[in-house]
């Protein structure tokens, strides 16, 4: 990780520190290392000293675009490092009128996908001390020696069906683009769930959602959940109760998913944020698939000029519910 | 009383204990390990570190119904919901048991005691289990937790060479071992020796609670909160967080009243009628949570409200955890700064 990206990191730091020093931006949203080599956390850099902590490696999972909602209140101009998904998140916020394009400088970082520590640790067997990467392989350094694994198999679920590793919107591309990615079987988990009977599917979701703590991490990490007041917190009328009943679990997750229909950029931050590993991305991916089938191919957040299908009306739109 | 049972015979012990009590064990639920009532066929993961949510769920359930109401015309009927069935909490690690003892002080040592909590605590027999291979997030050492011993346990258990050794330390614990007497043999070990290495992150927490007394307006708070997403993950996975809310489920004529977990990280946690919110932004909320752990709780109970279980280090989506907070507040050894 660090070894592979040292050169890239220098390039990134040089570009952003120029802009920070010249006043082109007042704040840079990036990543710094956490306590562990497999954790990179958000960095809010407003000085050269802060930038010394900047990192760019295979663990920069956190989508930084969402922080613009708060940081643009305090700063006139903010720079953000964006991966492919983060750039689509920016477009999402732009389309929702939550950010202003001219107050943000986007620095593009093509991303080969974020590695999942749990997968790496499981593969390692014994204690995993670190990794290096080369030519699409990850070399695990374990207590019992080195193990080589295919990088694509170690990706987080959130990255498993990524079609856009390169940022789709940016002011400055800082690294060499990777090109559009091939996904062997898109909607794999969705297809498997669709093959079940509706009873089986209900039982599946009832069980998965039974772990939900209603901590709302999925919502808080999500770039399409940018409502100033969520229906969950509304008091009058009160939509969402706090009981841990299946009906309340379904209410929250299904309303949220439908709210994201045609707007979800499939960044998978919801699933990554979930402390009890509920496969939330499958709900969102099902809606992406349905939207594509009903209204023609549409990838949310790829083109900020293209209206989301459910925010427009065409006389020939399918009306499946009214047809018998 | 010291007994033992072969590890591959443990299923028999679960069956026995579940006959007369609700038996909580760390079981695999999908991709996570959670303390749940044991059912036949459950995949028990005694050596999993650490369960996704702490076993505080057994004593302070995320949801607890305590009242049924029924209205008709001018009459209102109320019925208490009571569950007298005994509980066995099995496989509780020393850090988590220490955290439960911290909750005891809040719920039982104050007047009046919290009757719901007290009842659960009293009807539960705790079988603590010493740690074998803690995960990289464990940092209990700095909070004086001994991973090999949980002083407050009714039964202290150890997994050694294919056997589980069980030592009864209280009357409740003795009763539990007698209940399963025919399944157990006399233990052959006297003392458990095992080296458990956990990290300390270079933290030095000595004097921190006292120091923080005058640092409510410390500039460190202006930076620390920035990455916080305002979700409730840290509070819900944390073994020493105990805030709750009370709500009704049902409709005007009939329903139930329950209490459930609440989180100080939510914006509406302190929202008052009329709209005023004394903790209006993430800064005040993050400060509240860490001050509660590091200053308010210790001020009353002489102990930092953290046991180093590492759950916030593992689960916070943006890695804003208590170690980061302690470091930001200067609780680091000089050579690590």
ipTM of the complex: 0.94
Which tokens is A146 given?
């080195």
A39 at the B interface (CB within 8 A)?
yes
Q: Is B231 within 8 Å of A214 when comparing Cβ atoms? A: no
Across A80-84, B40-44, B46-50, B235-239, least confident range:
B46-50
Quick check: A4 pLDDT over 80? no
Q: Is A243 within 8 Å of B249 when comparing Cβ atoms? A: yes
Judging contacts by C-beta atoms under 8 Å, the chain A residues touching residue B241 are: none
Tell me what pLDDT residue A322 has. Answer: 64
B177 and B220 co-located in one domain: no
Domain A188-322 has CATH 1.10.1060: yes
B313 at the A interface (CB within 8 A)?
yes
Count of domains observed in chain B:
2
pLDDT band at B45 (very low <50, low <70, confident <90, very high): very high
- Mean pLDDT confidence for A34-57: 96
Q: Tell me the nearest-neighbour CA distance from A216 into chain B, angstroms.
A: 5
Q: Is A276 within 8 Å of B52 when comparing Cβ atoms? A: yes
A46 at the B interface (CB within 8 A)?
no
Tell me whether residue B192 is in a domain. Answer: no
CA dihedral sign, ordered B228, B233, B238, B244: positive
B104-143 as b/e: b if 16+ CB within 10 A: bebbbeeeeebebbebbbebbbbbbbbbeebebbbbbbbb
Please give the share of chain B, as a percent, with pLDDT higher than 70: 100
**Which of B288, B51, B318, B9 lies closest to B162 in space, CA to CA?**
B9
**Which of B311, B334, B318 lies closest to B51 in space, CA to CA?**
B311
B323 at the A interface (CB within 8 A)?
yes
Q: Tell me the nearest-neighbour CA distance from A288 into chain B, angstroms.
A: 24
- Residue in B closest to A39 by C-alpha: B319
Q: Is A207 within 8 Å of B30 when comparing Cβ atoms? A: yes
A203 at the B interface (CB within 8 A)?
no
B301 at the A interface (CB within 8 A)?
no
B267 at the A interface (CB within 8 A)?
yes
Q: Is B231 within 8 Å of A215 when comparing Cβ atoms? A: yes
For chain B, what is the mean pLDDT? 95
- Mean pLDDT confidence for A138-159: 95
B238 and B329 co-located in one domain: yes
Peptide bond into B112 cis (omega under 30): yes
Tell me the whole-structure pTM to 2 decimals.
0.94
Q: Is B236 within 8 Å of A275 when comparing Cβ atoms? A: yes
Q: What does the pLDDT look like over A198-230, one tens digit per residue?
A: 999 999 999 999 999 999 999 999 999 999 899
Beta carbons of A158 and A114 less than 8 angstroms apart: yes
- Mean pLDDT confidence for B91-100: 97
B166 and B43 co-located in one domain: yes
Report CA dihedral (B231, B106, B93, B82) to the nearest 10 degrees. Answer: -90
Instruction: Give the residue carrying structure tokens 């009864």.
Output: B168
Task: Provide long-range contacts, Cβ within 8 A and 24+ apart, for A227-235.
Answer: A231/A255, A233/B267, A233/B268
Q: Is B260 within 8 Å of A244 when comparing Cβ atoms? A: yes
A233 at the B interface (CB within 8 A)?
yes
DSSP B140-195: GGGGT-BTTB-TT-SEEEEEETTEEEEEE-SHHHHHHHHHTGGG-EE---S-----
In this structure, how many other beta carbons lie within 10 angstroms of the beta carbon of residue A296? Answer: 8
Which tokens is A152 given?
């694509």
- Residue in A closest to B136 by C-alpha: A36
Q: Is B236 within 8 Å of A207 when comparing Cβ atoms? A: no
**Rounded Cα–Cα distance for residues B212 and B224 (Å):** 15
DSSP A210-263: HT-----HHHHT-SS---SS-GGG--SS--------HHHHHHHHHHHHHHTTTT
Report CA dihedral (B328, A228, A168, A189) to the nearest 10 degrees. Answer: 90
Q: What does the pLDDT look like over A114-137, one tens digit per residue?
A: 999 999 999 998 789 999 999 899
Q: Tell me the nearest-neighbour CA distance from B63 into chain A, angstroms.
A: 7
Tell me what pLDDT residue B256 has. Answer: 95
Q: Which of A69, A124, A220, A271 to mutate to test the interface with B (most CBs of B within 10 A)?
A: A220
**Rounded Cα–Cα distance for residues B99 and B241 (Å):** 9
Which tokens is B46 given?
């005694």
Tell me whether residue B323 is in a domain. Answer: yes
Tell me what pLDDT residue A323 has. Answer: 60
Quick check: A78 pLDDT over 50? yes
Tell me what pLDDT residue B70 has. Answer: 96
Judging contacts by C-beta atoms under 8 Å, the chain B residues touching residue A44 are: 223, 226-227
Q: A32: which strand partners?
A: A41, A54
Q: Is A39 within 8 Å of B319 when comparing Cβ atoms? A: yes
Quick check: B122 pLDDT over 90? yes
Q: Is B233 within 8 Å of A273 when comparing Cβ atoms? A: yes
Q: What does the pLDDT look like over A276-293, one tens digit per residue?
A: 999 999 999 999 999 999
pLDDT band at A196 (very low <50, low <70, confident <90, very high): very high
B140 and B221 co-located in one domain: no
Q: What does the pLDDT look like over B305-318, one tens digit per residue?
A: 999 999 999 999 99
**Rounded Cα–Cα distance for residues B178 and B302 (Å):** 37
Residues 275-314 in A contacting B (C-alpha not used; CB under 8 Å):
275-277
Q: What single-letter DSSP state applies at residue B281?
A: S
**Rounded Cα–Cα distance for residues A232 and A310 (Å):** 22
Judging contacts by C-beta atoms under 8 Å, the chain A residues touching residue B249 are: 241, 243, 245
B247 and B99 co-located in one domain: no
Beta carbons of A29 and A42 less than 8 angstroms apart: yes
Which residues form the domain of B303? 208-255+262-336
Q: Which of A217, A241, A244 to mutate to test the interface with B (most CBs of B within 10 A)?
A: A217
Which tokens is A61 given?
């999972």
Beta carbons of B56 and B63 less than 8 angstroms apart: no
Q: Is B236 within 8 Å of A242 when comparing Cβ atoms? A: no
B38 and B156 co-located in one domain: yes
Tell me whether residue B65 is in a domain. Answer: no
pLDDT band at B192 (very low <50, low <70, confident <90, very high): confident
Q: What does the pLDDT look like over A13-40, one tens digit per residue?
A: 999 999 999 999 999 999 999 999 999 9
Q: Tell me the nearest-neighbour CA distance from A105 into chain B, angstroms.
A: 19
Which tokens is B212 given?
């923080």
Tell me whether residue B93 is in a domain. Answer: yes
Q: What does the pLDDT look like over A93-119, one tens digit per residue?
A: 999 999 999 999 999 999 999 999 999
- Mean pLDDT confidence for B50-64: 95
From its phi and psi, is residue B91 left (phi > 0), alpha (psi between -120 and 50) or beta? left
Q: Is B323 within 8 Å of A44 when comparing Cβ atoms? A: no
B246 and B297 co-located in one domain: yes
Judging contacts by C-beta atoms under 8 Å, the chain A residues touching residue B266 are: 216
B47 and B180 co-located in one domain: yes
**Rounded Cα–Cα distance for residues A74 and A26 (Å):** 10
Tell me what pLDDT residue B266 has. Answer: 95
**Rounded Cα–Cα distance for residues A278 and A245 (Å):** 16
Tell me whether residue B69 is in a domain. Answer: no
Tell me whether residue B286 is in a domain. Answer: yes
Judging contacts by C-beta atoms under 8 Å, the chain B residues touching residue A275 are: 52-53, 233, 236-237, 315
Kindly give, in sequence order, each residue whose CB lies less than 8 Å from that of residue A7, ignoring residues fewer than 6 positions away. Answer: none
Quick check: A2 pLDDT over 60? no
Within chain A, which residue ranges are assigned CATH 1.10.1060?
188-322
**Which of B59, B24, B22, B20 lies closest to B45 in space, CA to CA?**
B24
Quick check: A3 pLDDT over 70? no
How many degrees, rounded to 5, is the angle at CA B27 between CA B25 and CA B32? 135
Q: What does the pLDDT look like over A303-324, one tens digit per residue?
A: 999 989 998 888 888 876 766 5
- Mean pLDDT confidence for A85-99: 96
For chain A, what is the mean pLDDT? 93
């Amino acid at each position: 990780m660090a070894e592979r990206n040292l050169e890239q990191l220098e390039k990134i730091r040089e570009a952003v520190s120029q802009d920070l020093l010249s006043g082109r931006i007042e704040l840079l949203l990036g990543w710094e290392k956490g306590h562990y080599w497999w954790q990179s956390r958000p960095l809010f850099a407003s000085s050269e000293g802060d930038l010394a902590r900047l990192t760019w490696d295979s663990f920069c999972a956190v989508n930084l675009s969402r922080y613009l909602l708060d940081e643009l209140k305090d700063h006139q101009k903010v720079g953000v490092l964006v991966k492919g998904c983060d750039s689509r998140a920016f477009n999402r916020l732009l389309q929702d009128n939550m950010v202003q394009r001219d107050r943000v400088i986007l620095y593009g970082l093509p991303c080969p996908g974020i590695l999942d520590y749990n997968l790496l640790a499981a593969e390692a067997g014994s204690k995993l001390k670190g990794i290096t990467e080369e030519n699409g392989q990850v070399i695990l350094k374990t207590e019992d020696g080195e193990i080589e694994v295919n990088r694509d198999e170690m990706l987080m679920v959130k990255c498993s069906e990524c079609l856009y590793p390169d940022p789709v919107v940016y002011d400055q591309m800082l690294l060499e683009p990777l090109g559009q990615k091939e996904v062997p079987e898109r909607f794999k988990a969705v297809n498997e769930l669709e093959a079940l009977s509706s009873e089986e599917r209900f039982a599946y979701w009832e069980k998965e959602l039974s772990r939900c703590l209603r901590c709302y991490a999925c919502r808080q990490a999500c770039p399409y959940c940018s409502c100033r007041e969520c229906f969950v917190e509304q008091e009058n009328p009160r939509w969402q109760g706090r009981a841990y009943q299946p009906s309340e679990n379904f209410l929250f997750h299904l309303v949220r998913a439908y709210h994201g229909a045609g707007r979800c950029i499939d960044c998978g931050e919801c699933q990554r944020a979930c402390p009890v590993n509920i496969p939330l991305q499958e709900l969102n991916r099902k809606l992406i698939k349905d939207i594509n089938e009903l209204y023609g191919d549409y990838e949310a957040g790829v083109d900020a000029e293209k209206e989301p299908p459910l925010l427009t009306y065409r006389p020939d739109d399918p009306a499946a519910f009214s047809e018998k | 009383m010291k007994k033992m049972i072969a590890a591959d015979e443990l299923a028999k012990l679960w069956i026995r204990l579940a006959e007369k009590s609700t038996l909580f064990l760390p079981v695999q639920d999908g991709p996570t390990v959670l303390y749940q009532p044991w059912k036949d066929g459950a995949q028990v993961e005694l050596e999993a570190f650490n369960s996704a949510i702490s076993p505080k769920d057994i004593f302070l359930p995320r949801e607890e119904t305590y009242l049924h109401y029924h209205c008709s015309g001018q009459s209102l009927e109320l019925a208490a919901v009571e569950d007298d069935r005994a509980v066995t909490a099995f496989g509780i690690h020393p850090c988590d048991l220490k955290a439960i003892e911290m909750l005891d002080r809040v719920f039982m040592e104050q007047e009046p005691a919290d009757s719901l909590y007290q009842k659960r605590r009293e009807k539960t027999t705790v079988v603590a289990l010493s740690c074998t291979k803690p995960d990289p997030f464990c940092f209990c050492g700095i909070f004086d937790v001994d991973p090999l011993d949980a002083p407050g346990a009714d039964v202290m258990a150890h997994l050694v060479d294919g056997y589980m050794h069980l030592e009864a330390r209280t009357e409740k614990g003795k009763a539990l071992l007698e209940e399963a007497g025919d399944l157990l043999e006399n233990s052959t070990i006297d003392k458990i020796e095992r080296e458990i290495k956990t990290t300390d992150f270079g933290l030095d927490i000595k004097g921190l609670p006292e120091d923080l007394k005058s640092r409510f307006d410390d500039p460190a708070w202006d930076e620390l909160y920035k990455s916080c997403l305002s979700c409730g993950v840290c509070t819900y996975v944390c073994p020493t967080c105990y805030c709750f809310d009370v709500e009704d489920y049902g409709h005007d004529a009939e329903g139930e009243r329950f209490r459930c977990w609440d989180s100080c990280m939510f914006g509406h946690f302190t929202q008052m009628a009329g709209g005023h919110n004394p903790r209006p932004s993430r800064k005040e909320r993050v400060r509240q949570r860490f001050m509660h752990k590091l200053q308010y709780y210790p001020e009353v109970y002489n102990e930092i409200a953290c046991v180093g279980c590492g759950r916030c280090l593992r689960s916070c989506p943006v890695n804003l955890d208590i170690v980061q907070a302690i470091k930001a507040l200067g609780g680091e050894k000089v050579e690590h700064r």
